[in-house]
């Protein structure tokens, strides 16, 4: 084979790991690249690509002699995957490193000067996976900061190569396969053009150049010349440093006012203080969110990366932040050490770090010191103004504080874990009845109603106790608003309308105190749905996802509501992704989606899946249920629904939704007073429900006309005078 440059065997060498071509991805990429190059570069270019990844070689073969000619190429393209950057791998050791060493030594060199004066490398990486931090460091030790053309399909929890049929809207990177191939071709075109402008006609390895033979005279002259040059360099250095000061290295790009606090590592001897180190991280987050103009990634999203060895630049991309704070906590006896470091998420460079040593009894001072240190750095680097708010010590009982964070950790696990959270938090407030944070945490634990573990009265009581002690706790106001329209596990339209002002005021207060409280926004969105207001609900749910994009329930509820609102494609995508992320309650909602679209087998699968992962109050034969819906068997469905005596584990208004699907309109009207049932009548594609006399009667009797006049009307309805309405 021949290259456009004399002395080279190939123009392009494709290096990859065997596993990355099991599906044919690399082969397909090479084929598409050849097509793209044919329309991008005037002269034909030769590519070395062997589908046998070892080129017929064994690890014991003399690789240098076997691949010597093939690696004498102009451009080297490594396909960077999760397994490529491994010193033990054939591709890394015998292809990547060998090419780099050869390119460093030949006449062209590894770097090529472009027409604009910038330099590019003859190693052109194509990245198909987000790389682990260790792999990134190994690669950048050879190349410097990584610049690659990315073929990565990104959604929360997904890390795979981009495919030709992937939809741009589904990919968080918003990249398209063919566009990325074109980028690779254009990079190759620029390298080729730059080399041709340099009039390179023949290239030899430095090893092939003749070595000069030194005589005794030439050696003495070289020795004298060397001393002379050394003296000149020394004199120049003295003059330079006496008269010039080097300019500071500029930032690669301006930093945005955004930060994520990753969970601090537990470095305690027994590794049993994870809840404690998490607590310190969360305390820092709570302090940072109060800084005006600073975007702080939500706690739950940041904590998704706990225990994962991921590249900080990748984490920064996922969370949409420019700065990352990470650190560690070591608790030993009565001694405490906190280490914190601030990192530029755009390039991975460390900006600041410090160690704080305190006695354990001074834990709150230690937290304040860390937060103030970070604040000082943010003032300097981001131009943030103002002062840190003085924080009141939450409790004088270290034991109560310890129990609080243990209980809080259990609460975040949701499900049956909230029962243990309630027990731990009850003990915390028993030890210190003045511990406002613990009362607020207990209120949240009691406010989890969906799976039957909540307690309405205790949630309200604990929230009021928290606010009596500290009127600035956002979560307590959210609990009061969330609980106001409920009768234990169900929302009642009567209560929602009667307490509308109270609910609105408390949600607004919660969000004003903490705009980053994604749970408050999630609950606020759900309550708006119960009033039949889709657009305001979707606005709050999207904000909840923006604050905490990796919280499954945020994404899942948004997807479910988008689907109900008629945005099927994006709704299905979000709902399905939330289930993959671990939202158990989403299975039943996805089953209803498939039921509505007459995908009977998929509907049955997800109903059964829900019953496996969620504790159900009553057992249902879903095959019979789906058969009844498919055959429009009203009597059969009513019999099944009447057998559900305990509604734990069932989503709200499932009876109304199923009744509609079999055409049982009387059943739909009879269930309107149950959570979310009104919503079914206000969906854009449910006009037949709105035409029922029972629907109109229900809306007027419940006082919804007055509420809608004050807070806004559903998209499908409008006012007629002061006390009447019409719907499409």
- In whole angstroms, what is the distance from residue 196 CA to residue 215 CA? 39
Element (H, E) at 180: helix 177-197
Q: What is the pTM of this model?
A: 0.59
- In whole angstroms, what is the distance from residue 192 CA to residue 187 CA? 9
Closest CA to 549 of 187, 305, 202, 233: 305
Please compute the mean of the pLDDT values over residues 455-464 and round it to a whole number.
Answer: 94
Going 450 to 452 to 454 to 457, the CA torsion angle's sign is: positive
Q: Which two tokens stand for residue 436?
A: 């406002």
Would you state the torsion angle of the CA atoms of residues 632, 637, 638, 641, taken in this order, to the nearest 10 degrees?
-150
Going 273 to 279 to 282 to 283, the CA torsion angle's sign is: negative
Q: Which two tokens stand for residue 427?
A: 């003990």
Task: Summarize pLDDT for 383-394 with one digit per residue, the tens.
Answer: 777 666 666 788
* pLDDT for 56 beyond 50: no
pLDDT given at position 244: 39
Task: Summarize pLDDT for 485-514 with one digit per residue, the tens.
Answer: 777 666 778 888 999 999 999 999 999 998
- In whole angstroms, what is the distance from residue 121 CA to residue 298 CA? 39
Task: Answer yes or no: are the C-beta atoms of 575 and 556 closer than 8 Å.
Answer: yes
Q: Which two tokens stand for residue 573?
A: 């995508």
CA separation (Å) from 197 to 190, 202, 429? Answer: 10, 14, 77
Residue 194: CA atoms inside 13 Å, Cβ hemisphere, count?
A: 22
pLDDT given at position 108: 84
Element (H, E) at 154: strand 152-155
Beta bridge partners of 202: 6
Closest CA to 556 of 543, 545, 568, 540: 545
- Domains in the chain (CATH in brackets) are 10-197 (3.40.50.10140), 261-391 (3.40.50.10070)
| % the chain with pLDDT above 90 | 34
Of 100-114, 415-429, 494-508, 584-598, least confident by mean pLDDT is 100-114
- In whole angstroms, what is the distance from residue 185 CA to residue 34 CA? 9
- The pairs formed by 334-337 with CB atoms below 8 angstroms and a separation of 24 or more are 334/359, 334/360, 334/361, 335/359, 335/360, 336/360, 336/362, 336/363, 336/366, 337/267
Task: Answer yes or no: are the C-beta atoms of 126 and 184 closer than 8 Å.
Answer: yes
Sequence-ordered list of residues with C-beta below 8 angstroms from that of 456, at least 6 positions apart, any chain: 446, 449, 483, 486, 487, 488
- In whole angstroms, what is the distance from residue 137 CA to residue 300 CA? 27
Task: Summarize pLDDT for 168-192 with one digit per residue, the tens.
Answer: 888 888 889 988 999 999 999 989 8
Task: Answer yes or no: are the C-beta atoms of 110 and 100 closer than 8 Å.
Answer: yes
Q: Residue with structure tokens 């310190």? A: 280
pLDDT-based confidence at 64, cuts 50/70/90?
very low
- In whole angstroms, what is the distance from residue 243 CA to residue 237 CA? 10
Q: Which residue has the higher pLDDT, 390 or 221?
A: 390
- In whole angstroms, what is the distance from residue 603 CA to residue 624 CA? 12
Q: Residue with structure tokens 């949600």? A: 507
Q: Which two tokens stand for residue 581?
A: 């992320």
Please compute the mean of the pLDDT values over residues 345-371 and round it to a whole number.
Answer: 81
pLDDT given at position 409: 78
Instruction: Specify the DSSP class assigned to residue 565.
Output: T
Task: Summarize pLDDT for 621-654 with one digit per residue, the tens.
Answer: 999 999 999 999 999 999 999 998 887 778 877 8
Q: Which two tokens stand for residue 8?
A: 């080279």
pLDDT-based confidence at 452, cuts 50/70/90?
low
Task: Answer yes or no: are the C-beta atoms of 73 and 8 closer than 8 Å.
Answer: yes
* pLDDT for 9 beyond 60: yes
Task: Summarize pLDDT for 93-131 with one digit per residue, the tens.
Answer: 888 988 888 888 887 888 888 777 778 899 999 999 998
Instruction: Specify the DSSP class assigned to residue 362.
Output: G
Mean pLDDT score across all residues of the chain: 82
């Amino acid at each position: 084979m021949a290259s456009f440059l004399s002395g080279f065997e190939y123009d392009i060498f494709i290096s990859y790991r065997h596993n990355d071509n099991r599906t044919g991805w690399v082969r397909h990429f090479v084929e598409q690249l050849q097509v793209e190059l044919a329309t991008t570069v005037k002269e034909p270019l030769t590519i070395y690509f062997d589908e046998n990844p070892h080129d017929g070689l064994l690890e014991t073969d003399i690789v240098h002699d076997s691949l010597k000619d093939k690696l004498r190429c102009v451009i080297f393209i490594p396909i960077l995957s999760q397994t490529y950057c491994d010193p033990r791998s054939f591709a890394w050791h015998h292809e990547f490193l060998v090419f780099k060493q050869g390119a460093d030594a030949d006449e062209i060199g590894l770097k090529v000067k472009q027409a604009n004066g910038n330099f590019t490398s003859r190693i052109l990486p194509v990245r198909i996976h987000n790389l682990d931090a260790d792999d990134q460091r190994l690669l950048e030790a050879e190349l410097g900061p990584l610049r690659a053309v990315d073929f990565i399909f990104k959604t929360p929890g997904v890390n795979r190569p981009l495919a030709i049929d992937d939809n741009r809207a589904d990919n968080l990177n918003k990249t398209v396969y063919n566009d990325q191939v074109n980028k690779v071709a254009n990079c190759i075109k620029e390298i080729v053009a730059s080399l041709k402008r340099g009039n390179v006609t023949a290239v030899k390895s430095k090893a092939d150049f003749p070595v000069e033979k030194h005589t005794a005279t030439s050696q003495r002259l070289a020795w004298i010349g060397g001393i002379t040059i050394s003296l000149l360099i020394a004199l120049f250095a003295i003059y330079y440093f006496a008269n010039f000061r080097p300019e500071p290295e500029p930032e690669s790009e301006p930093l945005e006012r955004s930060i994520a606090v990753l969970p601090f590592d537990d470095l305690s001897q027994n590794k049993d203080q994870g809840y404690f180190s998490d607590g310190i991280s969360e305390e820092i987050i709570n302090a940072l969110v109060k800084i005006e103009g600073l975007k702080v990634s939500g706690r739950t999203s940041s904590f998704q990366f706990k225990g994962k060895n991921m590249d900080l630049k990748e984490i920064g991309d996922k969370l949409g932040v420019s700065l990352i704070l990470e650190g560690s906590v070591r608790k030993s006896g009565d001694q405490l050490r906190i280490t914190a470091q601030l990192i530029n998420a755009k390039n991975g460079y460390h900006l600041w770090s410090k160690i704080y040593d305190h006695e354990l009894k001074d834990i709150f001072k230690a937290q304040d010191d860390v937060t103030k240190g970070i604040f000082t750095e943010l003032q300097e680097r981001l131009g943030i103004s103002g002062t840190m708010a003085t924080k009141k010590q939450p409790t004088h009982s270290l034991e109560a504080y310890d129990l609080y964070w243990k209980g809080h950790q259990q609460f975040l696990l949701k499900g049956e874990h909230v029962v243990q959270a309630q027990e731990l938090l009850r003990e915390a407030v028993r030890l210190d009845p003045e511990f406002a944070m613990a009362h607020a945490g207990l209120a949240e634990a009691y406010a989890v109603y969906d799976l039957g573990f909540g307690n309405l009265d205790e949630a309200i009581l604990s929230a009021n106790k928290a606010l009596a002690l500290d009127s600035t706790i956002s979560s307590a106001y959210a609990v009061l608003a969330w609980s106001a329209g409920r009768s234990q596990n169900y929302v009642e339209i009567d209560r929602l309308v009667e307490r509308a002002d109270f609910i609105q005021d408390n949600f607004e207060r919660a969000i004003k105190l903490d705009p980053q409280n994604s749970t408050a926004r999630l609950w606020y969105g759900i309550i708006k749905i119960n009033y039949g207001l889709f657009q305001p609900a979707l606005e709050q749910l999207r904000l909840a996802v923006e604050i905490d994009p990796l919280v499954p329930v945020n994404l899942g509820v948004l997807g479910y509501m988008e689907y109900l609102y008629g945005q099927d494609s994006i709704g299905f995508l979000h709902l399905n992704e939330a289930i993959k992320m671990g939202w158990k309650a989403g299975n039943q909602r996805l089953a209803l989606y498939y039921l509505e679209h007459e995908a009977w087998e998929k509907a049955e699968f997800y109903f059964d899946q829900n019953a496996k992962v969620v504790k159900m109050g009553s057992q249902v034969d879903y095959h019979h249920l789906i058969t009844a819906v498919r055959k429009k068997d009203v009597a059969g469905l009513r019999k099944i629904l009447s057998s559900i005596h305990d509604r734990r584990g069932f989503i709200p208004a499932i009876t109304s939704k199923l009744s509609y699907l079999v055409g049982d309109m009387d059943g739909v009207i009879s269930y309107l007073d149950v959570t979310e049932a009104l919503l079914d009548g206000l969906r854009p594609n449910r006009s037949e429900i709105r035409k029922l006399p029972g629907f109109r009667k229900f809306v007027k009797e419940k006082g919804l006309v007055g509420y809608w006049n004050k807070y806004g009307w559903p998209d499908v309805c409008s006012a007629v005078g002061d006390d009447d309405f019409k719907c499409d």
